[in-house]
Structure 1
Amino acid sequence: MASIRKRSWETRKGETKEAWVVDYFDQHGKRHLKTFTRKKDAEAWSIEARHEVKQGTHTAASESVTVRKAGELWFETCEESRLERSTLHQYRTHLDYHIYERLADTKLSDLNTQTVREFETWLHKNGRSDALVRKALSSLGSILADAQDRGLVSRNVVRERRRRKRNGDRQHEKILAGKHFPTQEEARLILAAASGRWRPLIIAAIFTGMRASELRGLTWDDVDFDASVIHVRQRASLYNELGAPKSKAGRRSIPMGSYLANTLREWKLVCPRRNVKKDADGNVTDPGQLFLVFPNGAGNVENHSNVYRRGFAATQIEAGVSVSKVDDDGAPILDDDGQPVMEAKYGIHAFRHYAISTWIDLGYPHKRIQDIAGHATLSMTMDTYGHLFPNPEADADLAHRAETRLIG
């Protein structure tokens, strides 16, 4: 049972104050009071609280922990799970510089869809990018999921809100050739401009759709020239540490065409080796071992920023696949000679989009694309690339055959 009563009192200054108090018992028979400034809010909260008590999931505000406390418990869980150092660093940043800055002292029981929406708005207004806002909200949802497992909160309002938005009519921007990934002509220009040690890497990215971390962690043992297959069995983190793919679906085998195979065979002859030893005069005494397919000059994992800046970005600019760099006001940035400063049009991940869109154009089955792309589910593939599949002529033919089958 729960009751709502009005409470009035007079301050030391003689001012009359009013509030609405919800008086209720939780599922354990313990009495609680919660105060609101408006009767409307008290009534809405009371309805929700009665439902939670009936379900046995209610957590009173007096017994609830703060977002900061729950965040630290969640982070401890992440550390115990031995997540990659780069992932832990990212989560720590989300906590200290985004979530705690706004919600640190907020009780979990006080979080609702409105406070989550206000938090999202605050992030946007304070200069966070769309991508960062999504990641911060995802981390907040993970905090609440961990708190649910610990019995500290009854609901995960972040994920509830996400499901409602996903089921609504909100439209996501569809990835398009020429905007989000290279067109076929741009890909040709990039291939023609690729040179040196970056050429085989860029060719591999275009034709395999491998992620940057997977390319940086690829070993020669996983390149099977006889079977014309590249096996993805590990990846390199932002800290250049080698480890398993992030998901089970990440382990996969990707078909390799003759052009890519020949390119890799040639590259293997000059590919840097690790543990090369030299004497005092600089003569090689131990040639070392071939290990990584796309290493740095010492045969070790290449830094991600170098791969982009010196490889993918520089090659795009050389190929003319570039755009004018602009300042915060959208005005072109000029060099000392008054010429616009150019920057690469696409990031590394755009080459993955290009590869997958090519498989779609060639008529690869949906499930096969999911497998070689390393997507965890077919819905992930279709949500991102589904709009590239439709074939109006084939759809019309199927409709005609369906009619003929029934009515002749």
Structure 2
Amino acid sequence: MQGTRTRALDSRGRPVPGLYVRDGRFIAGYQCPQARRWRMQALEAATITEARRERDGLLSALREARVAAPAATTLADVFAEYQSSRSLSERTRTHERHLFGRHLGTMGGRRAQDVTATDVARALRGMRETYSPWTCVAVHRILAGSFSLALRRGILTRSPMDGLAPSERPKQKNARRIAVLDGETMRRLVAAGTSERWRAALALAGYAGLRLGEIRALTWADVDLDAGTVAVRRSMLPDGTPKAPKTDAGARSVPLLPALRRRLVEWKLQAPHSQPSAFVIGTADGKPIAERNLRRALEESKAGAGLDGLEDRLSMHSLRHSFASMLATDLELPATTLARLTGHADAGFTLRVYARDGRDDATLVADVLARASGAGVGA
């Protein structure tokens, strides 16, 4: 049982403002600048002089935001606010909650201010042996976002994520590289589609860079054959629910390349539903096509084009990567234009992740030497 708290007295027996004593320990009382509430905090000082100095230092640090005001906010509270602060689909929100509960549940009940870099590193290290790099990166992203919000809210003055060594930060790495197709290989793949509908779907990914959900949500009203554009206005969740594009930059207008235009014209002539409100790639009764059917169409096309034995991973998203690489390497478009056409807000991200030169070393070297010769560089 704690003893009675009394006022601390100086050498002349006078009460010292803001200092108290209980069970032989000094306690600082102060008006918290952030919370605007009176708080009490135990001190490490052994003498009245040290206690005065420690209290003054605490108040100064609080005023200058070098330390955060004591808060009972838990990591779970911060995570909940982090989710509320973003516009998320219900699927993403549920997935994040699952990851937090499964991997951070114990840590979630602790005060956010008590979680250290060592705690975070230990949690991530424990996952590394059992879970995929993708899962580890997703949990790391949740922690980084939650602590970043705690910083902005004044709950923390320094994120424990800053204390992680580079080797302790999980890295997202696929077992196989994403395939990037050249123009001829893309033509073979699209032509190997088993129907005009699937050939049009593959062309939308390979020649316009549309995401899987964007292909499923596309209507004929979004395709302007006269102006030569495809307007990306919405996406679609796996269950068929329409949603806004992935980011604000996701709403965009993409040029209709000749190869894509031909495929769309041929498919529109045969499509059972071609009115403006109908889905471009829909079912026979006009409903959204299932994701698994698009993936199955790609697998059949890969087999027909002799590409099912590739060392690199060839997925629907690979076709989007190939489109971005074509814009960057073949058309040599500026990074900002490249990001705009692929629906990215960050041009640097587009270059780092999507715009990969798919040529082999010999072709790349020959191209650089030819360009250097023509420009008189290094002559």
Normalised by the length of structure 2, the TM-score is 0.71
Of 75, 90, 97, the residue aligned with 1:92 is 97
CA contact 1:27–1:56 (8 Å) conserved in 2: no
Q: CA deviation at 1:201?
A: 0.3
In the aligned structure 2, how far is the partner of 1:156 from the partner of 1:53? 17
Taking a change above 3 Å as real, the CA distance of residues 161 and 242 of structure 1, as seen in their structure-2 partners, is: farther
CA contact 1:124–1:130 (8 Å) conserved in 2: yes
CA contact 1:271–1:290 (8 Å) conserved in 2: no
Kindly provide the amino acid, as one letter, of the partner of residue 349 in structure 1.
H
Q: Which of structure 1's runs of 4+ aligned residues deviate more than 6 A?
A: 21-27, 170-175, 397-401
Structure 2 partner of 1:263: 263
Structure 2 partner of 1:278: none
Structure 2 partner of 1:355: 323
Of 56, 60, 64, the residue aligned with 1:55 is 64
Match status 1:108 vs 2:112: yes
CA contact 1:316–1:345 (8 Å) conserved in 2: no
Match status 1:305 vs 2:257: no
Q: CA deviation at 1:376?
A: 0.7
User: Equivalences for 1:118-197 in 2 at 5 Å?
Assistant: 118-127=122-131, 129-158=132-161, 160=162, 165=166, 179-184=177-182, 186-196=185-195, 197=197
User: Equivalences for 1:165-314 in 2 at 5 Å?
Assistant: 165=166, 179-184=177-182, 186-196=185-195, 197-273=197-273, 290-308=277-295, 310-314=296-300
Taking a change above 3 Å as real, the CA distance of residues 358 and 399 of structure 1, as seen in their structure-2 partners, is: closer
Structure 2 partner of 1:38: none
Structure 1 partner of 2:15: none
Of 370, 385, 389, the residue aligned with 2:339 is 370
SS in 1 for 2:264: helix
Taking a change above 3 Å as real, the CA distance of residues 254 and 289 of structure 1, as seen in their structure-2 partners, is: closer
In the aligned structure 1, how far is the partner of 2:242 from the partner of 2:186? 29
Kindly provide the amino acid, as one letter, of the partner of residue 72 in structure 1.
A
In the aligned structure 2, how far is the partner of 1:219 from the partner of 1:51? 61
Taking a change above 3 Å as real, the CA distance of residues 130 and 24 of structure 1, as seen in their structure-2 partners, is: farther
84-93 vs 353-362, greater mean Cα deviation: 84-93
CA contact 1:25–1:32 (8 Å) conserved in 2: yes
In the aligned structure 1, how far is the partner of 2:139 from the partner of 2:225? 43
Taking a change above 3 Å as real, the CA distance of residues 174 and 135 of structure 1, as seen in their structure-2 partners, is: closer
Structure 2 partner of 1:328: none
Kindly provide the amino acid, as one letter, of the partner of residue 85 in structure 1.
E
In the aligned structure 2, how far is the partner of 1:173 from the partner of 1:239? 27
> Could you report, residue by residue, the CA deviation over 1:383-403 in whole angstroms, capped at 9, with x for unpaired residues?
2256639974488579967x9
Taking a change above 3 Å as real, the CA distance of residues 161 and 386 of structure 1, as seen in their structure-2 partners, is: farther
Q: CA deviation at 1:379?
A: 1.4
SS in 2 for 1:230: strand
In the aligned structure 2, how far is the partner of 1:398 from the partner of 1:116? 54
Kindly provide the amino acid, as one letter, of the partner of residue 146 in structure 2.
I
In the aligned structure 2, how far is the partner of 1:229 from the partner of 1:193? 25
Bigger Rg over Cα: 2
CA contact 1:198–1:311 (8 Å) conserved in 2: yes
CA contact 2:140–2:170 (8 Å) conserved in 1: no
Kindly provide the amino acid, as one letter, of the partner of residue 90 in structure 1.
H
User: Equivalences for 1:335-346 in 2 at 5 Å?
Assistant: 345-346=313-314
Q: CA deviation at 1:362?
A: 1.6
Structure 1 partner of 2:22: none
Q: Which runs of 5+ in 1 are unaligned?
A: 1-20, 36-48, 275-287, 325-342
SS in 1 for 2:270: coil
Q: CA deviation at 1:235?
A: 0.9
SS in 2 for 1:388: coil
Sequence identity, in percent? 23
Kindly provide the amino acid, as one letter, of the partner of residue 68 in structure 1.
A
In the aligned structure 2, how far is the partner of 1:30 from the partner of 1:171? 39
CA contact 1:313–1:344 (8 Å) conserved in 2: no
Q: Which runs of 5+ in 2 are unaligned?
A: 1-24, 33-37, 45-57, 359-363
In the aligned structure 1, how far is the partner of 2:101 from the partner of 2:271? 42
Structure 1 partner of 2:78: 70
Q: How many residues align?
A: 326
Taking a change above 3 Å as real, the CA distance of residues 113 and 199 of structure 1, as seen in their structure-2 partners, is: same
> Could you report, residue by residue, the CA deviation over 1:117-144 in whole angstroms, capped at 9, with x for unpaired residues?
22222222232x2122222221222222
CA contact 2:27–2:42 (8 Å) conserved in 1: yes
RMSD of aligned Cα (Å):
4.1
Taking a change above 3 Å as real, the CA distance of residues 267 and 290 of structure 1, as seen in their structure-2 partners, is: farther
Q: CA deviation at 1:149?
A: 4.2
Kindly provide the amino acid, as one letter, of the partner of residue 216 in structure 2.
R
